Amino acid sequence: MTAAKPLRADARRNREALLAKARELFSNGCFDLRFDDFARLAGVGTGTLYRHFPTREALAEAVYREEITAMCAHAREVKATLPASEALEAFLRDFVHHLQAHEGLARTLETLMTTRSGTLADGGRELGLVITELLDAGVQEGTIRDDVGAGAVLMALQGICGACGRPGSRADADGAVTLIVDGLRRRAA
C-alpha cells in the first residue's frame, strides 16, 4: 500500500476548515443539515467537500479520529504531570466532560456504528491503549488495583456516556466517575 500524497497548503486549509465546521455543527446538534451545506458553511466548494469527504460518515469519522487523538494526547500529558492515580481520575473526568460538552458529536457518531465503521474500532483500541498506560502507571505506583483492565473501564465509560443528555446526567456522570476511580484504588492490606 502506498502512503497518501501530502496535501497542498490550500487543500490542507480547506480540509481543516471542513473539519472545524463539522466539529462545531456536530457538537451543536446540527443533524438535519444537507451534506452540501457543510461546504457552504465552511466557505469551500461542494467539489472540495466531496473530494475530501465523499459522505457524511467519512466526515464524521475524520472528526472522530481527531477527537480521539486529542483525548489520548491529553491523557499522556496528565500522566506526565500528575501522580498516576490522579492522572487516571483527571483523564476519566475530562473524557466524560468532553463527551457531555460535545453530545451532538456523540449522537452523530451513532451513524458510524450502524455502518460498522473500522474507525470506531480503531478509536476504541487507541483509547484502550491509553487507559492501559494510565492503569499500569497506577499499578506500578501502588495506588491502582492490578486486576481490572482497560476493557472494564471502557465499558463503564460507555455506560456513562450513553446516559449523557438526560436531566441531571452531569452530576450523575461525575458521581459515576467517582465510583469507577474509587473501585480502581488499591486498598491497604
> In the predicted model, what is the mean pLDDT of residues 85-111?
77
Q: Is 104's pLDDT higher than 90?
A: no
- Of 23-37, 73-87, 139-153, the one with minimum mean pLDDT is 23-37
User: What span, in angstroms and rounded, lies between the C-alpha atoms of 123 and 81?
Assistant: 24
Instruction: Read off the C-alpha cell for 110.
Output: 451513532
Q: What is the pLDDT of residues 158-189, one digit of tens each?
A: 888 777 767 777 788 889 999 999 999 998 76
Contacts of 163 (CB under 8 A, 6+ apart): 169, 172, 173
Q: Is 44's pLDDT higher than 90?
A: yes
Q: What is the pLDDT of residue 160?
A: 81
Which of the pair, 86 or 120, is modelled with greater confidence?
A: 86
The pLDDT confidence band at residue 109, using thresholds 50, 70 and 90, is: low
Q: What is the pLDDT of residue 62?
A: 87
Domains of the chain (ranges; CATH) run 7-54 (1.10.10), 56-184 (1.10.357.10)
CB count in 10 Å sphere of residue 79: 21
Q: What are phi and psi of 6, to 5 degrees?
A: -60, 145
What distance separates the 2 farthest-apart alpha carbons in the chain? Answer: 65
Which of the pair, 8 or 143, is modelled with greater confidence?
A: 143
Q: What is the pLDDT of residue 78?
A: 96
User: What span, in angstroms and rounded, lies between the C-alpha atoms of 46 and 39?
Assistant: 5
